[in-house]
C-alpha cells in the first residue's frame, strides 16, 4: 500500500509541469472564449439596434413623423463595447458607427423634447378650453365640451429633426455592417 502512494506521488511530481501547463492552457482558453463570446454578443446587439433605428428613420422619412413614445436607441451598446472592435474595424468604420449612434441619440433627444413640450401644453389646453364659454356639467351636448387638444410641432424643430434624420448614414448593409455581421456569426468551432 505504501508503494502505491509512493508511485502516485512520483507520478504527480514527474508530471507536475504537464499538469500545470494543461491547467494554465485551459484557463487561457476560457478567458479568450469568454472575450470572443462577449464580442459576438455585443456585435449582435449593435446590429439589432442599428437595424431598428434605421427602420424608424425610414418610417420618419415616409410618414414625416416619429412616435413620441419610442426611442431609436433604447440602449446604446456601441458606447459600452466600442473597445471590443478596435482591432476588427478600421478607424473610418468606427467613426461611421459612432456618428450613426451620435445622430440617433440626437434625434432621440429632439423627440424627447417634443414629447415633453406636448405633455406640458396639452393638459393646459385641455384644462382651460375655450375662454369665456361656460360649461353646463349636466348637459349631454357634445358641443359644450372643449375640443381635444392638438399638438403642432414647431416648424424649426421639425426642420431640424428632418435635417438630422436625412443626414444619418445607414450602416446595416454597408461593409462595416457586414464586418459586424461576420463577428456576430457563431461558427461551428465556437462552443
pLDDT digits (tens, 9 = 90+) for 21-37: 677 888 898 888 888 88
Torsion 42-47-50-56 (CA) sign: negative
pLDDT at 146: 52
pLDDT at 111: 87
pLDDT at 131: 43
Distance CA 164, CA 106 (A): 8
Inside any domain, residue 32: yes
Distance CA 183, CA 37 (A): 10
Inside any domain, residue 17: yes
Inside any domain, residue 78: yes
Q: Which domain holds residue 178?
A: 2-130+142-184
Inside any domain, residue 147: yes
Q: Provide the domain count of the chain.
A: 1
Inside any domain, residue 151: yes
Lowest mean pLDDT among 33-42, 65-74, 104-113, 160-169: 65-74
pLDDT at 55: 93
CB 159 within 8 A of CB 1: no
Distances (CA, A) of 77 to 85, 118, 131, 143, 188: 12, 29, 50, 51, 26
- Give 152's pLDDT tier (boundaries 50, 70, 90): low
Mean pLDDT of 164-188: 90
In the chain, what percentage of residues exceed pLDDT 90? 39
Whether the per-residue pLDDT at 164 is higher than 60: the answer is yes
Our CA dihedral for 184, 188, 190, 191, rounded to 10 degrees, sits at: 130
pLDDT at 190: 54
Whether the per-residue pLDDT at 188 is higher than 90: the answer is no
Inside any domain, residue 137: no
* pTM to 2 decimal places: 0.69
Q: What is the DSSP letter of 7?
A: H
Mean pLDDT of 66-79: 87
Inside any domain, residue 189: no
Inside any domain, residue 100: yes
pLDDT at 114: 81
pLDDT at 100: 96
- Give 154's pLDDT tier (boundaries 50, 70, 90): low
Torsion 176-181-184-185 (CA) sign: negative
Amino acid at each position: 500500500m505504501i508503494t502505491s502512494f509512493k508511485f502516485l506521488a512520483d507520478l504527480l511530481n514527474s508530471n507536475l509541469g504537464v499538469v500545470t501547463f494543461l491547467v494554465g492552457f485551459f484557463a487561457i482558453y476560457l478567458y479568450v472564449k469568454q472575450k470572443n463570446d462577449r464580442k459576438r454578443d455585443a456585435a449582435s446587439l449593435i446590429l439589432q439596434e442599428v437595424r431598428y433605428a434605421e427602420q424608424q428613420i425610414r418610417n420618419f422619412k415616409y410618414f414625416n413623423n416619429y412616435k413620441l413614445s419610442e426611442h431609436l436607441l433604447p440602449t446604446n451598446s456601441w458606447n459600452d463595447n466600442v473597445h471590443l472592435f478596435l482591432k476588427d474595424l478600421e478607424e473610418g468604420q468606427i467613426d461611421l458607427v459612432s456618428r450613426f449612434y451620435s445622430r440617433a441619440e440626437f434625434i432621440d433627444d429632439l423627440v424627447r423634447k417634443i414629447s415633453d413640450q406636448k405633455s406640458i401644453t396639452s393638459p393646459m389646453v385641455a384644462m382651460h378650453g375655450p375662454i369665456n364659454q361656460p360649461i353646463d356639467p349636466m348637459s349631454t351636448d357634445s358641443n359644450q365640451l372643449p375640443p381635444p387638444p392638438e399638438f403642432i410641432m414647431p416648424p424649426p424643430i421639425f426642420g431640424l429633426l428632418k435635417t438630422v434624420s436625412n443626414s444619418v448614414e445607414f450602416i446595416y448593409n454597408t461593409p462595416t455592417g457586414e464586418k459586424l455581421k461576420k463577428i456576430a456569426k457563431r461558427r461551428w468551432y465556437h462552443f
